[in-house]
Amino acid sequence: MNREYIKEKKRIVVKIGSSTITHEETGALDLVKLEKMIRLLTDLKNQGKEVVLVSSGAIAVGRKAMGVKKRPDDMAVKQACAAVGQARLMMVYQKLFGEYNQVAAQILMTKYTMINDISRENAQNTFRELLGMGVIPIVNENDTVSTDEMKFGDNDTLSAIVAALIGADILILLSDIDGLYTDDPNVNADATFISCVEKIDGKLENMGKGVTSDVGTGGMATKISAAKIATASGCDMVIANGENIEVLRQIMDGEQIGTLFKEHKTEGFHLIDYIKTPQYK
């Protein structure tokens, strides 16, 4: 299907996964890739578009800084790594965005932020003001204070909720997978690529058998769940491989990259219903 219309999208949410912004061999930040991504995001902003970045990586960066070799299971260790890593990650983002005279802001959210009516409205107002000021918000889950009961669990879900909250036109998930296949291509050579999804049904959800990585938390199943939220809110969503970060420019130029989930705004859509019930999981 022709994707030329994507060029006209004005409000863009980009989600970048931990495995995409770190070196596989060391777990350290891939600064070359980060710099390229920030240049592309700033250029989109210079075109008159509004941009929000949902960035994973706090725990991964904290692990590297503290010498924690494996992804921790203990909540306190995770939160300690997140506390160290989030500060370091934002320092890098501020420095790199500053190189292009672009102001960035940090927004840390928990599930409680969205469940509580006052907090949700405050978050919405903050996004609106920042975007109006020409700022690029950088969003992550507040892992340092989140409990298991109050966690989104993955930034695929968080990015879809942010996209719905701010009325985004398109959500782009950059990860370590090319898009949606009929089966896991790592184990099934006959798996075929799906370029466009008009509607998400039960059969499609069963295809969400994606693999996870050592540093990331979201597989294909979480991305399909994110697509359900985004598309129901009236937002297109694209899943693409962020190995070559130029894919971001290609998507916004309307090229046939990744899997496009077409928006189909659901009548009576209420974001809070998706957050309070298990249907988005």
Mean pLDDT across 118-129: 95
**Domain map of the chain by residue range?**
4-280
Q: Are strands 236-241 and 193-194 parallel, antiparallel or unpaired?
A: unpaired
Query: Which comes out higher in pLDDT, residue 17 or 39?
Result: 39
- What pLDDT sits at residue 149? 47
CB-based contact 91:65 (threshold 8 Å): no
State the virtual CA torsion across 159, 160, 161, 163 in degrees, nearest 10.
90
**For domain 4-280, which CATH number applies: 3.40.50.620, 3.20.20.210, 3.30.500.10, 3.40.1160.10?**
3.40.1160.10
**Lowest mean per-residue pLDDT among 81-85, 126-130, 168-172:** 81-85
Render 86-141 in DSSP notation, one character per residue: HHHHHHHHHHHHHHTT--EEEEEE-HHHHHSHHHHHHHHHHHHHHHHTT-EEEEEE
- What is the rounded CA–CA span in Å between residue 244 and residue 40? 12
- What pLDDT sits at residue 242? 93
CB atoms within 10 A of CB 135: 19
- What is the rounded CA–CA span in Å between residue 233 and residue 163? 8
- What is the rounded CA–CA span in Å between residue 127 and residue 140? 13
- What is the rounded CA–CA span in Å between residue 54 and residue 239? 14
Please write down the HEC assignment for all residues of 249-278. HHHHCCCCCCEEECCCCCCCCCHHHHHHCH
CB-based contact 15:174 (threshold 8 Å): yes
- What is the rounded CA–CA span in Å between residue 187 and residue 102? 43
Residue 216 has pLDDT above 80, yes or no: no
Give the chain's largest Cα–Cα span: 50
Mean pLDDT across 139-143: 86
**Lowest mean per-residue pLDDT among 14-23, 102-111, 216-225:** 216-225
Q: Are strands 136-141 and 104-109 parallel, antiparallel or unpaired?
A: parallel
When pLDDT is cut at 50, 70 and 90, the band that residue 128 belongs to is very high
Residue 235 has pLDDT above 60, yes or no: yes
Query: Which comes out higher in pLDDT, residue 190 or 255?
Result: 255
Residue 275 has pLDDT above 80, yes or no: no
pTM over 0.85: yes
CA atoms within a 13 Å half-sphere pointing along the CA-CB vector of 210: 24
Residue 96 has pLDDT above 90, yes or no: yes
Closest CA to 22 of 12, 8, 33: 33
Residue 168 has pLDDT above 50, yes or no: yes
- What is the rounded CA–CA span in Å between residue 179 and residue 195? 8
Mean pLDDT across 36-46: 97
Mean pLDDT across 227-234: 94
- What is the rounded CA–CA span in Å between residue 13 and residue 236? 10
- In angstroms and rounded to an integer, the radius of gyration of the C-alpha atoms of the chain is 18
- What pLDDT sits at residue 27? 84
CB-based contact 87:94 (threshold 8 Å): no
- What pLDDT sits at residue 108? 93
Mean pLDDT across 136-157: 77
